Structures are given as C-alpha cells and as structure tokens.
Amino acid sequence: MRIAFIFNWHFNMQRPHHWVIQAVKRGHEADVYSTAGKMPWKPLQVPYKYATRVICPRPKIMEALLYRLGGRKSPVLRLLHEHSVAQSVRLWENLWNGVTKKQYDAVVYCAPIPCIVNRKSRKIPLVYDCLDQWDGFPNAHPRTLEFEDSLAQVADIIWGVTPELVDRLSNRHGAEKCHLVPNGCDYDHFSSPKKVRRPAQWKPNAPVIGYAGVVSDWFDWNAVLAIAKALPEGIVWIIGSCNATVPQRLPSNVVLEGFVPYEELPPYYAGFDVSIIPFKGDVLLKGVSPIKLYEYIAAGKPVVSSKMADAMELASPGIVEVAKAPNEFAQICSRLMNSSTDETLILKRQALAQSHSWASRWGICESMIRSFKR
C-alpha cells in the first residue's frame, strides 16, 4: 500500500512516527507531509530515513524566532498564531485535495487541530487519528473542537487513544467509524538496554524516582514535591524539555536533566527504581494515553500514574498503580521501592508491555484500512 501521513515530523518521537516506521517495516510506502519545516538551529530528532519520503513546507522562521525570544505566551506570537489559523486551514485543504490526486491507498491525519475542513475528493479513505483532547491544552485555539468536528465529519475512519475520546467522537459522528487504538511502545528498544545511566548526584543505594517526557502546564509539580519530601534519601529525576514554570527553590533531591533524544532513553529508564506520570487537568486527562507508560513497563519498572484511562486499564499491584493525590504519589513510590528488582514482577511488567507493542497496534490499524469499503 501507499499511505500518506500528515503530522509534524520534526516534533519529538511520537505515535505518528511509529505508524510510519511500522508501515515501512511491513513493506508499504509511507510518505509524510510534515506540518512544519525543519528549523536550522534544531537537530533533527527523527531521521528522514524512517519514512519513504518527508515533504516539508517552508519553515515559519519569524514565528519560531518569536517563540524562542518570548515563549509561547508572547502576545505577539499569539496574535500571529490567530492570524495564521485561517491560512493554515486553507493550506491543509489544498494539501488534502492535492494529495488525493496521487495514487495513495489511504491518508492518515495525525496533526493537532486546526486542520482539513473541506474535502472535495472521496476516492481514497481518510483516517483521523485523534491523539489528544485538544481543547484541554492551555494554549488551545477557541475553535479547536469546531475544527475537529469538521475533520471528523468528513473522515471515513477515526482512531482514538482513549475510551473517552472514542465515546465523544462516536456520539457526534457515528460509532461505526470510531475505534479505540491506545498508544504502545517499541518493546525491543526499552527492554534490553546495554548500560545504565544514573543522575550525576546519585550515590550508591539511593533510590531514583524517574520521569521522562515534556514538562508543561499539565505536569503536577505538587506530586514531585511530595515525593521529594517523603523520600529525602532518594532522587526525583526529571528528564525532558521544560516549557512550564518551575517552582522556586526546588528541593536538592529534585534533578532536572533536560531533553534526552528518544534513541538514548533506554539507559536512563534502566536507572529508575520507580517511574512516575504526574499529570493534572480533568479535561486533558480524558484524552491522554501516555506512551511513557508502556515504555516504563517495557523497561521492567513499576509505574505510579495519575488517574487516566490507560493506567486504570493496566492497574495491578507492583506493576501500574494509580495515585489520586500528590501525597498518594509519595506513599505508593515509597512502598514500591523494593519491588524494582523483583524478577517475577519485572517479567510480568515486560510481558504486559510486549502485548502492547507498536507492531501489534499498527497491525490492527492496517487491517481497518485494508477492509474499508466505501
């Protein structure tokens, strides 16, 4: 098959990248129409070699410079973003109607909203892969759900990462085309690291409570502070880029590592004793299927997570446990310290992760595309 994917190839390694990789591994042609161009000062996070082709627009250098200078809350950047929404919609309408003239077997749209709202051709199936509850983000455009409805209305197949997203889209656009497809993991990448990394401040036998991922407005610092206070002998190791306000005077046992490329993550996971996913925000949590959850258990680590669909689904003592408040995070982490090296639990965690691989997830998605009949 020839499949066109639409998303930002230049963002950190995410679900759409894995779709492309799995499609190519199965012998398909996977062309990516990236929603953003590569910025000259940023290294390429995901090599182009993983796709058949990556087609990029000209990067918005001025918008990127304003972001770097003033942050995403800059009034000038917000004004520019508002002004460009209508232009973005027209761009993707034109792209879609151009893509459909090529001989593709399917087009998979994985980008955030705003997006395609007008579809002239219905010769090939259009898949909308709903990755998040888009209106739950602090900087969401006020018309986000309106744009999403326009896309979902013309889509032939809809994939949602959580039951809540699938239910919402089913109620509005029909249950027959909406399907639950949670996130997964590259099991082989995380299950057998060649070495172990520890924080620079680490001392032998000091427990490490680890987080890997973007630190943004949805990150629950109160949970981190509660863990640091309850385990003064341990280290709370935060790995990832930070675009949120960091509490002043962080405890000395909270270590901010900064961004680590996807390819280099396994040794860091191997250095965790307990892994955490401290998220907040009722609206956002309804649409979150954290990839790191599956990666943590692929590494054999116990997980303490905020209340979200995937964590509730996989919840099991010593494997994935759910904390409803910051103090619960601290209590569960303290209890799970000694389970990190339990071989029986490690094997159970990894077996669970293996059943949620990207390969198995893509197999389900591919079968939907193949069996689609207009």
| Residue 69 reports pLDDT greater than 90 | no
Question: What is the amino acid identity at position 366?
Answer: E
- Whether 89 and 74 share a structural domain: yes
Residues 144, 134: Cα–Cα separation, whole Å: 7
Question: Long-range pairs for 226-233 at CB < 8 Å and ≥24 separation?
Answer: 226/326, 226/327, 226/329, 226/330, 227/276, 227/329, 227/330, 227/333, 228/253, 228/254, 229/330, 230/330, 230/331, 230/333, 230/334, 231/207, 231/330, 231/333, 231/334, 231/337, 233/206, 233/207
| Residue 88 reports pLDDT greater than 70 | no
- Residues in Cβ contact with 109 at an 8 Å cutoff, skipping those fewer than 6 apart: 6, 7, 115, 116, 126, 127, 128, 129, 151, 155
Question: For position 218, what pLDDT does the model report?
Answer: 87
Total residues found in the chain within this entry: 374
- Whether 336 and 366 share a structural domain: no
| Residue 85 reports pLDDT greater than 60 | no
| Residue 310 reports pLDDT greater than 80 | yes
Do 50 and 17 meet the contact criterion of CB atoms below 8 Å apart? yes
Sign of CA dihedral 332, 184, 136, 269: positive
Do 238 and 256 meet the contact criterion of CB atoms below 8 Å apart? yes
Tell me what the mean pLDDT of segment 123-132 comes to.
Answer: 89
Q: DSSP of 26-77, one letter per residue? A: TT-EEEEEESSPPPTTS--SS-GGGSSEEE-PPP-HHHHHHHHHH-TT-HHH
Phi, psi values for residue 3, rounded to 5°: -125, 135
- Whether 285 and 335 share a structural domain: yes
The total domain count for the chain is 2
Do 269 and 295 meet the contact criterion of CB atoms below 8 Å apart? yes
| Residue 131 reports pLDDT greater than 60 | yes
- Whether 146 and 68 share a structural domain: yes
- Whether 18 and 163 share a structural domain: yes
- Whether 125 and 233 share a structural domain: no
| Residue 83 reports pLDDT greater than 80 | no
* Containing structural domain, residue 209: 187-354
Phi, psi values for residue 39, rounded to 5°: -85, 135
Tell me what the mean pLDDT of segment 327-337 comes to.
Answer: 94
Question: For position 68, what pLDDT does the model report?
Answer: 53
Phi, psi values for residue 339, rounded to 5°: -90, -5
Alpha carbon 73 to chain centroid, angstroms: 22
Task: Identify the band that residue 115 occupies on the pLDDT scale cut at 50, 70 and 90.
Answer: low
- Whether 136 and 9 share a structural domain: yes
Q: Which residues pair with 219 in a beta bridge?
A: 279
Question: For position 303, what pLDDT does the model report?
Answer: 97
- Whether 175 and 206 share a structural domain: no
Q: Which residue has the tokens 């054999």?
A: 300
| pLDDT tens per residue, range 240-267 | 988 878 888 899 999 999 999 999 999 9
Sign of CA dihedral 262, 266, 268, 269: positive
SS3 274: strand
| pLDDT tens per residue, range 212-223 | 999 988 899 999
Spatial CA neighbour of 34 closest among 5, 73, 2, 75? 5
- Whether 263 and 308 share a structural domain: yes
- Whether 165 and 79 share a structural domain: yes
| Residue 318 reports pLDDT greater than 90 | yes
Q: Which residue has the higher pLDDT, 206 or 139?
A: 206
What is the domain-level CATH number for residue 45? 3.40.50.2000
- Whether 79 and 101 share a structural domain: yes
Pairing of strands 157-160, 274-277: unpaired
Task: Identify the band that residue 64 occupies on the pLDDT scale cut at 50, 70 and 90.
Answer: low
Tell me what the mean pLDDT of segment 75-98 comes to.
Answer: 56
- Whether 256 and 289 share a structural domain: yes
Q: Which residues pair with 29 in a beta bridge?
A: 2
